[in-house]
């Protein structure tokens, strides 16, 4: 065996039969990335392969790390500014050139994917003639660049289009950034074979090399046609116009350029020769990587998410603990979902409601979810049975004996919540963690109902629990560090993302989403066409339109919370500012009896039999719309600013203590548009940074009211030229 120089991140191992194994193994790093060392190693390897071509029978590319290859170096990318465009463009071309040299060596090249091959990893695999994936648990394959506001620029667009055809490449891999497990990747045509063991994978690779001594890519063969045709093909041409339209619908025109660039790169690169196609891909990539949106998204979905999950907000020095048996109190919509999430993570669950029947109904919710998963091949009968066996429905508090965590999800009523905790405190394990899933009630107040207030904490899930990745942990005044750490561990145990906030009415998420909704409703009250309000929310990138979201939440619940909060504020001697939305909500409920979707009528009409939304209620136009208009940009920014400004106030008030938690919580919990990188990153990335944002806030304040006045902390950041970071 011979070896390349030590600094290389690609090890060259050649056996006596002429098979070269290129082992990706960045020294001193936990994962392989497309950093400078990799780029120079790739060039060295391509040089050597060409020089020693005659003694090489075939090449296997694999990795010594757990993941095959992690993709681009994001630390690097986040620093690339417009001035670096030319350099970024050239660097991209270098990688493409060297992969292409290996691809066209005339020798069989096999990707042996020992672990996840996402982004750059799958692009390396695409440059190989044969792709074998090891069926390793958790292993994922795909091109998720779009989820970071980028496009795959290592030939990923050019080759996936040539491999799968434009339509499939866009829909299956490029536009949504889907990550497939190895078996799905096989079914979708992303890999050729799946191996059960590493030995089998390498044997398959050698078998391919033996059988294909002169491999080349299908797209390098004479007369190769892209599957499904190119835009020049009449059949394809007929379908093409639908693409941008569908895309616009999907993205609702958010200021989010990646999908548009991907679409353009895919279509344009399909019409030209391979080398020109690579240049087109590089140009569209450069535009994205030098722009603000990719930076926002990398900051949020990589750095912030990592910081949050790694436990930035978890108290140090508390031993990690796993929950074995959890009591879920209340088997309604939330309790049923929480029971499922816990059971899925292997936790024994006792699901308690007022009657066995009600508890069993809660368990039936898991049965329904599992039946769907089974039908889609996402679970097996054995897994389903094991999960269901872990959920015990009951009405008898004695069944909660031995539970080491309690999650309460009964009606939103403090007296009832006090009562159910009293009922069970003596039954569960003496040091059981006590959690409430209240969406708004102060944790400190609820803790008055339990003996061990230090073990009492808020664990705020989002609906539907099985889909929503976030849990907001709320620390009451008397909550101890141990309880906080255990709650954090529990959230991680059920594979969700925890953010931590201090106690306050509505916490972070419920309070801030309220600002969004109020702003939308206020615009209806100003006489603006409700369809435009919905359009503005969608085009700002919100996943749910504002009035439809209000209907989902019901108009009565936020109203009740509002009235209770006002009472609390006034009782404490404060003055309640009110909101222009209040009057609209009151009229909707009191005058027109429209309480939201569950009541069958809200801002929208609903089909009686299916419960589906049919149209905006025509009465809105009659009773509210005056033909008033304001600039579209103002409509969008009123919603975005209302949320961002209130988040800054929450930082000032000490409810929020982490910028990363705020950014991630806003995107994963309450649908703040992902292209912004989160509610505080939105301020950082706003034109002119926090100072530009503050200046714009003043304009909105002058035009629409005091609630847009820039808070003190924002002005301080603006004056100091600082951004919101965790430091
Ligand atoms: P729900 O009305 O669907 O379920 C409440 C359940 O509690 C019912 O099944 C009821 O029979 C049961 N219950 C009542 N008294 C009980 C007792 N003494 N012992 C055991 N069970 C009892 O309500 P939902 O929507 O599940 O909400 C539950 C809690 O979760 C509330 O505090 C709510 O504020 C909170 N929450 C709700 C969210 C939502 O989107 N619906 C989101 C996050 C939190």
Over residues 371-379, mean pLDDT: 90
Is 193 assigned a catalytic role?
Answer: no
Residues facing residue 325 across a β-bridge: 348
Ligand 1 centre from 464 Cα, in Å?
13
Burial of 115 (0-12, 13-18, 19+ CB in 10 A): buried
Nearest CA to 434 out of 387, 393, 388, 482 is that of 482
Atom of ligand 1 nearest to the CA of 420: 18
Ligand 1 centre from 336 Cα, in Å?
9
Q: What is the DSSP string of 68-110?
A: SB--B-HHHHTT--GGGHHHHHHHHHHHHHHHHHHHTSSS-EE
Atom of ligand 1 nearest to the CA of 334: 26
Query: Which pLDDT score is estimated for 257?
Result: 87
- At residue 7 the predicted structure's pLDDT band, cuts being 50, 70 and 90, is low
* Whether residue 158 has pLDDT greater than 70: yes
The DSSP output letter for 49 is H
State the SS3 of 631-647. CHHHHHHHHHHHHHHHH
Q: What is the C-alpha to C-alpha distance for residues 368 and 690, in angstroms, rounded to an integer? A: 47
Query: Which pLDDT score is estimated for 440?
Result: 86
- Residue 115 in contact with residue 68, Cβ under 8 Å? yes
Helix axes 274-289 and 258-269, enclosed angle (nearest 10):
170
Residues facing residue 111 across a β-bridge: 61, 131
Lowest mean pLDDT among 196-200, 220-224, 355-359, 497-501: 220-224
* Whether residue 338 has pLDDT greater than 60: yes
* Whether residue 252 has pLDDT greater than 80: no
* Phi/psi at 391 (5° precision): -105, 120
Ligand 1 pocket residues where CB is under 6 Å = 329-335, 352-354, 358, 409-412, 416, 420, 437-439, 460-463
Burial of 381 (0-12, 13-18, 19+ CB in 10 A): exposed
Pairing mode of beta strands 19-24, 58-63: parallel
Residues facing residue 471 across a β-bridge: 461, 498
- The number of beta carbons lying within 10 Å of the beta carbon of residue 9 is 24
CA distances (Å), 688 to each of 129, 643, 692, in order? Answer: 48, 19, 4
Query: Which pLDDT score is estimated for 2?
Result: 44
Over residues 136-158, mean pLDDT: 95
Over residues 478-485, mean pLDDT: 98
Query: Which pLDDT score is estimated for 398?
Result: 95
Query: Which pLDDT score is estimated for 377?
Result: 80
Q: pLDDT of 692-724, one tens digit each?
A: 999 999 999 999 999 999 999 999 999 999 999
Ligand 1 centre from 411 Cα, in Å?
4
- Residue 713 in contact with residue 696, Cβ under 8 Å? no
Q: Number of H helices and number of E strands within the chain?
A: 31, 19
Query: Which pLDDT score is estimated for 3?
Result: 45
Query: Which pLDDT score is estimated for 326?
Result: 98
Q: What angle do CA 260, 265, 271 make, to 5 degrees?
A: 135
Q: What is the C-alpha to C-alpha distance for residues 49 and 586, in angstroms, rounded to an integer? A: 75
Give me the catalytic one of 3, 43, 123, 564: 123
Pairing mode of beta strands 456-461, 141-142: unpaired
- What is the residue with the minimal CA distance to atom 9 of ligand 1? 332
Q: What is the C-alpha to C-alpha distance for residues 173 and 161, in angstroms, rounded to an integer? A: 10
Query: Which pLDDT score is estimated for 1?
Result: 42
589-593: list long-range contacts, CB under 8 Å, 24+ apart: 589/555, 589/556, 589/559, 592/619, 592/623
- Residue 147 in contact with residue 119, Cβ under 8 Å? no
Q: pLDDT of 608-636, one tens digit each?
A: 999 999 999 999 999 999 999 999 999 99
Q: pLDDT of 23-55, one tens digit each?
A: 999 998 899 999 889 999 999 999 999 999 999
* Whether residue 4 has pLDDT greater than 80: no
- Residue 401 in contact with residue 428, Cβ under 8 Å? yes
Helix (H) / strand (E) containing 193: strand 193-195
Over residues 470-481, mean pLDDT: 98
- At residue 234 the predicted structure's pLDDT band, cuts being 50, 70 and 90, is low
Strand order in 117-118's β-sheet? 117-118, 141-142, 179-180
Query: Which pLDDT score is estimated for 643?
Result: 98
Query: Which pLDDT score is estimated for 227?
Result: 86
- 501-510 exposure pattern, b = at least 16 Cβ within 10 A, e = fewer: bbbbbbbbbb
Beta strands in 488-565 (DSSP E): 497-502
Ligand 1 centre from 187 Cα, in Å?
41
Q: Distance of alpha carbon 209 from its chain centroid, rounded?
A: 40
For all residues of the chain together, what is the average pLDDT? 93
* Whether residue 508 has pLDDT greater than 60: yes
- At residue 725 the predicted structure's pLDDT band, cuts being 50, 70 and 90, is very high
Nearest CA to 329 out of 471, 444, 438, 453 is that of 438
- What is the residue with the minimal CA distance to atom 3 of ligand 1? 332
Q: pLDDT of 173-199, one tens digit each?
A: 999 899 999 999 999 999 999 999 999
Over residues 339-362, mean pLDDT: 98
Q: pLDDT of 647-680, one tens digit each?
A: 999 999 999 999 999 999 999 999 999 999 999 9
Nearest CA to 408 out of 360, 361, 447, 356 is that of 447
Q: What is the C-alpha to C-alpha distance for residues 709 and 51, in angstroms, rounded to an integer? A: 67
Pairing mode of beta strands 391-394, 348-352: parallel
Q: pLDDT of 308-322, one tens digit each?
A: 999 989 999 999 999
The DSSP output letter for 596 is B
Residue 464 tokens read as 């539907």
- At residue 233 the predicted structure's pLDDT band, cuts being 50, 70 and 90, is low
Cis peptide before 464 (omega within 30 of 0): yes
Q: pLDDT of 452-475, one tens digit each?
A: 999 999 999 999 999 999 999 999
Helix (H) / strand (E) containing 22: strand 19-24
- The number of beta carbons lying within 10 Å of the beta carbon of residue 311 is 16
- At residue 82 the predicted structure's pLDDT band, cuts being 50, 70 and 90, is confident
Give me the catalytic one of 103, 145, 281, 534: 145
- What is the residue with the minimal CA distance to atom 4 of ligand 1? 332
Q: What is the C-alpha to C-alpha distance for residues 179 and 160, in angstroms, rounded to an integer? A: 14
Nearest CA to 460 out of 421, 407, 391 is that of 407
Contacts of 572 (CB under 8 A, 6+ apart): none
**Ligand 1 pocket: which of 332, 398, 414, 507 to mutate (most atoms within 8 A of CB):** 332
Over residues 220-243, mean pLDDT: 73
Contacts of 88 (CB under 8 A, 6+ apart): 80, 285, 286, 289, 290
The DSSP output letter for 604 is E
Over residues 2-26, mean pLDDT: 84
Q: Distance of alpha carbon 632 from its chain centroid, rounded?
A: 27
Query: Which pLDDT score is estimated for 246?
Result: 63
- What is the residue with the minimal CA distance to atom 14 of ligand 1? 410
Is 145 assigned a catalytic role?
Answer: yes
- What is the residue with the minimal CA distance to atom 17 of ligand 1? 354
* Phi/psi at 13 (5° precision): -120, 120
Q: What is the C-alpha to C-alpha distance for residues 178 and 145, in angstroms, rounded to an integer? A: 10
Ligand 1 centre from 330 Cα, in Å?
6
Burial of 260 (0-12, 13-18, 19+ CB in 10 A): middle
Phi-psi category of residue 84: left, alpha or beta, with phi > 0 → left and psi -120 to 50 → alpha: alpha
Q: What is the C-alpha to C-alpha distance for residues 388 and 395, in angstroms, rounded to an integer? A: 18
Over residues 101-110, mean pLDDT: 97
- % pLDDT > 70, the chain: 95
Residue 152 tokens read as 């795959």
- % pLDDT > 90, the chain: 84
């Amino acid at each position: 065996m011979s070896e390349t120089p030590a600094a290389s991140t690609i090890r060259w191992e050649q056996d006596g039969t002429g098979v070269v194994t290129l082992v990706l193994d960045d020294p001193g790093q936990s994962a392989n990335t497309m950093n400078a060392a990799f780029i120079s190693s790739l060039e060295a390897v391509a040089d050597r392969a060409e020089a020693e071509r005659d003694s090489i029978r075939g090449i296997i590319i694999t990795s010594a790390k757990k993941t095959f290859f992690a993709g681009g170096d994001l630390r690097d990318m986040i620093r690339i500014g417009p001035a670096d465009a030319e350099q970024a463009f050239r660097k991209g071309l270098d990688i493409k050139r060297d992969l292409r040299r290996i691809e066209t060596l005339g020798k069989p090249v096999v990707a042996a994917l020992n672990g996840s091959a996402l982004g750059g990893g799958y692009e390396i695999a695409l440059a190989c003639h044969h792709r074998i994936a090891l069926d390793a648990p958790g292993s994922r394959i795909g091109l998720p660049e779009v989820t970071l506001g980028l496009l795959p620029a290592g030939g990923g667009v050019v080759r996936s289009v040539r491999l799968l055809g434009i339509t499939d490449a866009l829909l299956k891999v490029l536009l949504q950034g889907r990550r497939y497990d190895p078996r799905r990747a096989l079914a979708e045509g992303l890999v050729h074979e799946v191996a059960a063991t590493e030995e089998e994978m390498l044997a398959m690779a050698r078998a391919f090399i033996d059988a294909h001594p002169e491999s080349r890519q299908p797209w390098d063969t004479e007369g190769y046609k892209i599957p499904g045709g190119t835009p020049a093909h009449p059949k394809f041409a007929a379908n093409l116009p639908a693409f941008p339209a569908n895309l616009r619908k999907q993205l609702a025109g958010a200021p989010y350029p990646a999908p548009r660039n991907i679409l353009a790169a895919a279509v344009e690169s399909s019409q030209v020769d391979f080398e020109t196609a690579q240049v087109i891909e590089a140009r569209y990539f450069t535009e994205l990587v030098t722009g603000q949106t990719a930076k926002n998204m990398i900051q949020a979905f990589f750095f912030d998410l990592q910081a949050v999950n790694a436990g930035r907000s978890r108290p140090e020095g508390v031993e990690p603990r796993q929950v074995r048996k959890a009591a879920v109190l209340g088997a309604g919509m939330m309790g049923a979902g929480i029971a499922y999430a816990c059971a899925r993570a292997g936790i024994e669950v006792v699901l308690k409601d007022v009657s066995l029947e009600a508890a069993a109904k809660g368990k039936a919710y898991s049965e329904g979810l599992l039946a769907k998963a089974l039908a889609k091949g996402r679970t097996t009968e054995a897994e389903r049975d094991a999960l269901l066996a872990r959920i015990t429905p009951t009405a008898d508090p004695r069944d909660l004996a031995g539970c080491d965590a309690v999650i309460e999800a009964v009606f939103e009523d403090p007296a009832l919540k006090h009562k159910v905790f009293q009922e069970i405190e003596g039954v569960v394990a003496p040091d059981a963690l006590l959690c409430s899933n209240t969406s708004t009630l102060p944790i400190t107040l609820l803790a008055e109902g339990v003996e061990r207030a230090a073990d009492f904490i808020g664990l705020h899930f989002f609906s539907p629990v099985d889909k929503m990745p976030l849990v907001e942990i709320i620390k009451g005044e008397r909550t101890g560090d141990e309880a906080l750490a255990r709650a954090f561990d529990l959230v991680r145990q059920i594979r969700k993302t925890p953010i931590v906030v201090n106690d306050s009415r509505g916490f972070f998420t419920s309070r801030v989403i309220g600002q969004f909704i109020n702003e939308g409703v206020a615009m209806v009250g100003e006489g603006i066409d409700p369809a435009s309000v919905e359009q503005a929310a969608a085009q700002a990138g919100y996943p749910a339109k504002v009035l439809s979201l209000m209907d989902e939440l019901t108009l009565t619940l936020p109203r009740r919370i509002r009235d209770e909060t006002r009472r609390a504020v006034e009782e404490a001697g404060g003055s309640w500012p009110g909101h222009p939305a209040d009057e609209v909500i009151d009229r909707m409920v009191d005058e027109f009896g429209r309480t939201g979707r569950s009541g069958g009528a809200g801002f929208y009409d609903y089909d009686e039999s299916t419960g589906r939304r049919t149209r905006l209620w025509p009465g809105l136009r009659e009773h509210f719309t005056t033909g008033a208009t304001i600039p579209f940009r103002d409509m969008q920014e009123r919603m975005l600013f209302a949320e961002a400004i209130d988040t800054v106030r929450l930082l000032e008030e000490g409810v929020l203590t982490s910028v990363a938690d705020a950014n991630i919580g806003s995107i994963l919990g309450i649908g703040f548009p992902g292209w912004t990188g989160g509610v505080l990153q939105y301020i950082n990335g706003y034109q002119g940074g926090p100072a530009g944002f503050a200046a714009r806030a003043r304009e909105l304040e002058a035009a629409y009211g005091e609630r847009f006045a820039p808070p003190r902390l924002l002005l301080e950041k603006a004056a100091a030229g600082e951004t919101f970071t965790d430091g």
